[in-house]
Structure 1
Amino acid sequence: MSDRETKTDVILIGAGIMSATLGTFLKELVPEWKVTVFEKLESAGEESSNEWNNAGTGHAALCELNYTVEKPDGSIDISKAIQINEQFQLSMQFWSYLVKSKLISNPQDFIMPLPHMSLVQGEQNVAFLKKRFEAMSNNPLFQGMEFSDDPKKLMEWIPLILQDRPSNESIAATKIDTGTDVNFGALTRILFDHLKSKDVDIKYKHSVNNIKRTNDGSWELKIRNASGNIERHTAKFVFVGGGGGSLHLLQKSGIPEGKHIGGFPVSGIFMVCNNPKVVAQHHAKVYGKAKVGAPPMSVPHLDTRFIDNKKSLLFGPFAGFSPKFLKTGSMFDLITSVKPDNLITMLSAGAKNMSLTKYLIGQVMLSKEKRMEELREFIPNAKIEDWDLVVAGQRVQVIKDTEAGGKGTLQFGTEVISAADGSIAALLGASPGASTAVHVMIEVLNKCFPQHIKEWEPKIKEMIPSYGLSLLKNPELLHEIHTSTAETLGLSKKELVSL
């Protein structure tokens, strides 16, 4: 055992896309700061950021129907879609800056162009999709979106889905070609390779056991290293980006902002196609509508993926339940997250979400053949021998007390919890997560380093030209950014010809 204490400026907990993004920001803004990263696994991007543990969708609200809600008067509210899209544009700009600055050599290692589509069945859903299309296609952020309920056109767009489908079925889709497939695992590893070259101290197989405030306002972390010995590290600022593991560390910090917050883990299962002939017939991310009573993260989608330089096809997600907060976590994660301050919050959430519990139990009980039946709603002639199951990542949904929802409200989204003095911040929640990492890290910078933001602003604007501006309200800037990011990231038609 060692009582040696090491001081650093910034500690990042977890070697996922969030820590990778924040670390890259800080090394561009204040290269002299000493940054240390602690990761309990053997390498970067192995939990939530891993390419097999998420859908790889560049979430820009182009196809996700849960971001557009039909209001009581029948109109479509696209405000959430606008918000998500603008946030994703920040990521695209930041990644473009990294490519232009030679910090990333080949963007095709982590991002590929891919049409994003929404697909619905039944007259009522078709009417909804058409109204959604009319509301979105007039918006500059969603320029280029197409709608069709013509079977011939749909056969051109999604032949695998239209084959052997009943001709009398009411079906419609929207399509937009500016969507992306993003390998967040590859991007995370690229960024950590860069951080290592910038003298960031990255310590793998180091588990953070405890975190507490010191007399001088710094934070002391008690860490078990790869040899099993205890180390102590202190920093003025700590970012907790440990995926599902963040909640426990937030609780150990003792900050008042972390009180009355709980978490509920939901695991994901995808079906992956192992028949190259089937994979070759589909080229899009196609999102459907969640079933009545199902949570937003269960929206079914059929995705083309690019993983390890190979084109794959995934369908899901099917929800599962495990009390673990991480794939590599403990079976006691859920029960040990219940504290006196969040007990009522957690109990209230349980009472409010009986339908979710029933849904999860039903999902866990599904046989492979039952899962195939759901897949056949997308691919009518899908064969069981062409598909295997792959267990995706654990997602811990935030539970908190809110004015709108009352006690124990289940939050579907990503949330930053930070101390009043900005000395510590933790990231909780799930989708759209990785896609909006840049937006989230800008939020962390603003919350935790307000005294530096003014001096950092010119550099932030160099990295993200639209920083502080609404792209929706600046259509010329939007067009310029769309064009330049597509070209830099190899997503434009001109660039694709040369690939």
Structure 2
Amino acid sequence: MSNRVTETEVILIGAGIMSATLGTLLKELVPEWDITVFEKLDKAGEESSNVWNNAGTGHSALCELNYTSEKPDGSMDISKAIKVNEQFQVSKQFWAYLVNNNLIGDPQQFIMSLPHMSLVQGEDNVTFLKKRFKALSNNPLFEGMEYSDDPKTLVEWLPLIMQDRPSNEAIAATKMDTGTDVNFGALTRMLFEHLQSKNVEINYKHSVEDVKRTSDGKWEVRVHDMENDKLEFHTSKFVFIGGGGGSLHLLQKSSIPEGRHIGGFPVSGLFMVCNNPEIIEKHNAKVYGKAKVGAPPMSVPHLDTRYIDGKRSLLFGPYAGFSPKFLKTGSLFDLATSVKPNNVFTMLAAGAKQMPLTKYLITQVMQSKEKRMEELREFIPDAQSKDWDLVVAGQRVQVIKDTEVGGKGTLQFGTEVITSEDGSIAALLGASPGASTAVHVMLDVLNRCYPQYMEAWEPKIKEMVPSYGLSLMDHPELLKDIHKTTAKALGLTEKEGKQAVFN
């Protein structure tokens, strides 16, 4: 086993959507910087970014009920919905910039227009949805949302779901025609193809084994060239750890204080995939319901039209599962080896707090196909087992940390960035909304890690993301212009500008 030693300006660990986005931003801002990427698999976008390993929803809170909550006084808290929507607008602006400047090809390879709908059953849930609709429809970000509890309208919107449904059932839905289906795996590969054309060195089948500080303040990354069975050492001023579930172990190896008292809890997902073309053709939307009590937010049930490898598909799920692996291609010892002296009490506290979640996961894992079909029939009453196959989706590692609000061992549902005090290393942890907010998250990484450059970079950032530094909610005219320009560039359904509609 021979060694290779190199030095570069930036090292990106993991060839997923996050590294692809950060690398692309940096190449636009400082094209002269050398960037090196390491990925243990044989191509880009094959773990969390893979089309089968995530829901493919352009998360913008148009249909995801878990981004809104009812306050004790009965009013609706939509702050998280606004935040997620604003962040997805940032992603769309950047993607439009890339298309308009011929940096990536046909956007229809990775993004398609698709209505986003929320669907609820039962009087209490109908009341909740109506409140949610009223709260959101007063906000410019959600202009054009429609609500209906009229069966005739719902048959038009959801013919497959409404077919053979009991007529006395309380049911309601909201609809936004400007939703999207996103193939983040395809987008990731397009971005890395662009980066390769800009002389970014991308090393596949290279597994990062260690990350440690050198005496001169740089970072040394020890890499195993798996194909040639060689050990390599690479040094850099800045390292980004974007290895999905594998990021936690590398963050721990960096030994930065900010990485202490942080753990991870893996949750896997499974989907039912329809194999009957006639059924697939009857549905054309992403339809999200409400999560069951005790279920993690990533287990919100949804029936989705998807565009996978140029083919229209229909998926239902996710069903939660459990594996101690942090990646689909990871090790059965991932969870055990992530427990360290500095986070063991945090992990134990989380275990004590999360007994309901543990019981829920056990129940989910033990389910038969017929039991899973019963959940599907809440969406499609006459669903037949022969028309659906079970597919294992991606692994997500939920962050566990000590917080002021939740106390020791609080399970976090979301995306988190951990950076060192000097900004020389950053790691991305967590799950949804993840990929949808990649551009916003990577701009945040740049702001934390390169504050000395941000003033000089701002004009270029605003060229790529016109709303940078602004709240679109507070600038409705800019919002309308961005909807128009991004829709044109990406080939999407334009916002019609109509007021909220009650049916």
If the TM-score is normalised by the length of the shorter chain, which range does it land in? over 0.9
Q: Does 1:468 align with 2:481?
A: no
* Alignment-mate amino acid for residue 417 of structure 1: I
Aligned to 1:374: 375
Local SS of the residue matching 2:21: helix
Q: Does 1:205 align with 2:205?
A: yes
Counterparts of 2:410 and 2:398, CA distance in 1: 10
Local SS of the residue matching 1:188: helix
* CA shift for structure 1 position 493: 5.7
Aligned to 1:391: 392
* Alignment-mate amino acid for residue 395 of structure 2: Q
Please list, as runs of the form range in 1=range in 2, the aligned pairs for 1:218-367 lying within 5 A after superposition.
Answer: 218-225=218-225, 226-367=227-368
Counterparts of 2:71 and 2:26, CA distance in 1: 42
Local SS of the residue matching 1:339: coil
* CA shift for structure 1 position 138: 1.1
Aligned to 1:497: none
Aligned to 1:119: 119
Deviations 1:375-409 (A, max 9, x none): 00000010101100110000000000000000000
Deviations 1:359-381 (A, max 9, x none): 00000000000000000000001
* Alignment-mate amino acid for residue 479 of structure 1: K
Aligned to 1:100: 100
Counterparts of 1:73 and 1:423, CA distance in 2: 45
* CA shift for structure 1 position 5: 1.1
Aligned to 2:46: 46
Q: Given that residues 272 and 391 in structure 2 are in contact (C-alpha distance below 8 angstroms), is that contact kept between their aligned partners in structure 1?
A: yes
Q: Does 1:169 align with 2:162?
A: no
Deviations 1:22-54 (A, max 9, x none): 000000000000000000000000000000000
* Alignment-mate amino acid for residue 113 of structure 1: S
Counterparts of 2:4 and 2:314, CA distance in 1: 50
* Alignment-mate amino acid for residue 245 of structure 2: G
Aligned to 2:499: none
Counterparts of 1:224 and 1:292, CA distance in 2: 44
Please list, as runs of the form range in 1=range in 2, the aligned pairs for 1:24-35 lying within 5 A after superposition.
Answer: 24-35=24-35
Deviations 1:212-253 (A, max 9, x none): 000111100111002111010001000000000000000000
* CA shift for structure 1 position 295: 1.2
* Alignment-mate amino acid for residue 268 of structure 1: G
Deviations 1:288-326 (A, max 9, x none): 000111111110000000011100000000000000000
* CA shift for structure 1 position 136: 0.5
Counterparts of 2:70 and 2:275, CA distance in 1: 38
Counterparts of 1:60 and 1:72, CA distance in 2: 25
Local SS of the residue matching 1:88: helix
Q: Does 1:128 align with 2:128?
A: yes
Aligned to 1:144: 144
* CA shift for structure 1 position 2: 2.5
Aligned to 1:74: 74
Local SS of the residue matching 2:342: coil
Please list, as runs of the form range in 1=range in 2, the aligned pairs for 1:48-67 lying within 5 A after superposition.
Answer: 48-67=48-67
Number of residue equivalences: 495
* CA shift for structure 1 position 492: 2.8
* CA shift for structure 1 position 4: 2.8
Q: Given that residues 6 and 234 in structure 2 are in contact (C-alpha distance below 8 angstroms), is that contact kept between their aligned partners in structure 1?
A: yes
* Alignment-mate amino acid for residue 312 of structure 2: K
Local SS of the residue matching 1:380: coil
* CA shift for structure 1 position 104: 1.7
Aligned to 1:442: 443
Counterparts of 1:436 and 1:134, CA distance in 2: 25
Deviations 1:112-131 (A, max 9, x none): 00000000000010011001
* CA shift for structure 1 position 160: 0.3
Aligned to 2:500: none
Q: Given that residues 165 and 381 in structure 2 are in contact (C-alpha distance below 8 angstroms), is that contact kept between their aligned partners in structure 1?
A: yes
* Alignment-mate amino acid for residue 94 of structure 1: F
Local SS of the residue matching 2:228: coil
Counterparts of 1:180 and 1:262, CA distance in 2: 33
Local SS of the residue matching 1:450: coil
In structure 2, stretches of 5+ residues that fail to align are: 496-503
Local SS of the residue matching 2:473: coil
Counterparts of 2:327 and 2:373, CA distance in 1: 27
Identity of aligned residues (%): 77
Counterparts of 2:181 and 2:119, CA distance in 1: 18
Local SS of the residue matching 1:257: helix
Deviations 1:56-96 (A, max 9, x none): 00000000000000011111100000000000000000000
Q: Given that residues 154 and 162 in structure 2 are in contact (C-alpha distance below 8 angstroms), is that contact kept between their aligned partners in structure 1?
A: yes
* Alignment-mate amino acid for residue 446 of structure 1: N
Aligned to 1:479: 480
Q: Given that residues 3 and 230 in structure 2 are in contact (C-alpha distance below 8 angstroms), is that contact kept between their aligned partners in structure 1?
A: no
Local SS of the residue matching 1:451: coil
Counterparts of 1:61 and 1:335, CA distance in 2: 35
Aligned to 2:216: 216
Counterparts of 1:401 and 1:293, CA distance in 2: 21
Deviations 1:257-310 (A, max 9, x none): 000000000000000001110000000000000011111111000000001110
Counterparts of 2:448 and 2:231, CA distance in 1: 31
Counterparts of 1:493 and 1:264, CA distance in 2: 40
* CA shift for structure 1 position 3: 3.2
* CA shift for structure 1 position 443: 0.5
Q: Given that residues 418 and 427 in structure 2 are in contact (C-alpha distance below 8 angstroms), is that contact kept between their aligned partners in structure 1?
A: yes
Q: Does 1:22 align with 2:25?
A: no
* Alignment-mate amino acid for residue 331 of structure 1: L
Local SS of the residue matching 2:452: helix
Counterparts of 1:372 and 1:62, CA distance in 2: 26
Q: Given that residues 177 and 493 in structure 2 are in contact (C-alpha distance below 8 angstroms), is that contact kept between their aligned partners in structure 1?
A: no
* Alignment-mate amino acid for residue 412 of structure 2: Q
Coordinate RMSD, CA, aligned: 0.9
Counterparts of 2:451 and 2:304, CA distance in 1: 40
Counterparts of 2:418 and 2:169, CA distance in 1: 47
Counterparts of 1:287 and 1:201, CA distance in 2: 40
Local SS of the residue matching 1:286: strand
Aligned to 1:89: 89
* CA shift for structure 1 position 432: 0.1
